[in-house]
Amino acid sequence: MTTPTRRSLIAGGIAAAALLPAGARAASLFDPTPEEQAASIARLKTPGHALLLRHALAPGHNDPADLNLSNCQTQRNLDDVGRAQAVSIGNWLRAQGVTPSAVYSSQWCRCMDTATLMGFEPVVPEIALNSIADMPGSEASKLRKLRRFVQQVAAQPGPAIMVTHSTIATHMIGGLLGSGEGSVIRMNADGTAVSTGRVLFDMERV
């Protein structure tokens, strides 16, 4: 069986190195070793941490002008590689002993499909994880909503998974995530988050 691949979206992401714990290597932002990923998963299992995950591969850029969240046909969606990627992510996490308390997902179909195909329950639609670029309202108001959501998740037991978009990842951790790429985040009391390590789920970038 062919191993699913991912597209790399790391331009400008070196600036996010400042968000890593002291002593972490900048290279680990983008090419973590298996040992570093195992350490990230170990942190995920401790209180106050969650897995921030960009949806699996959905070819193209942006959504059609007639975007309608209740109609997947008006959105950019997962292809066969993206669907296989989502299944593989869920299988990999189970193999690492990860049992999320919940999988929160942007309402976009490519995010909901990623969350569902991972095979965990419950999958909870969460407006705060929706794409900032395509939602009404000011950016400031949307970021306040995101911070309130992070505060709520931080107070809950068990690790959570947040399936979202590159725009949300950029605001939360200061750097881009590739399709189907994750970052274990430490959630702060003020609703901000810090990336403590990236996770590639045993897949390769292209």
Can you list the domains of the chain with their CATH numbers? 46-58+68-205 (3.40.50.1240)
Residue 198 tokens read as: 């990236």
Starting from the edge strand earliest in sequence, which strands make up the sheet with 193-199, in order?
123-125, 102-105, 160-164, 49-54, 182-187, 193-199
**Confidence tier at 205 by pLDDT (50, 70, 90):** low
Residue pair 159/139 in contact (Cβ under 8 Å)? The answer is no
Per residue in 106-158, pLDDT tens?
999 999 999 999 999 999 999 999 998 767 678 889 899 999 999 999 999 88
**DSSP state letters, 132-149:** GGGSSS-HHHHHHHHHHH
Cis peptide upstream of residue 47 (ω within 30 degrees of 0): no
The model's pTM is 0.84
Per residue in 172-189, pLDDT tens?
998 889 999 999 999 999
**DSSP state letters, 83-96:** HHHHHHHHHHHHHT
Nearest to 50 by CA among 200, 199, 166, 202: 199
Q: How far apart are CA 122 and CA 112, in angstroms?
A: 12
Nearest to 185 by CA among 54, 7, 33: 54
On the question of pLDDT at 33 being above 70, the answer is yes
Q: How far apart are CA 14 and CA 22, in angstroms?
A: 15
Residue pair 75/65 in contact (Cβ under 8 Å)? The answer is no
Q: How far apart are CA 126 and CA 24, in angstroms?
A: 32
**Confidence tier at 60 by pLDDT (50, 70, 90):** confident
Q: How far is CA 202 from CA 35, 149, 150, 162, 199, in A?
A: 12, 29, 27, 19, 8
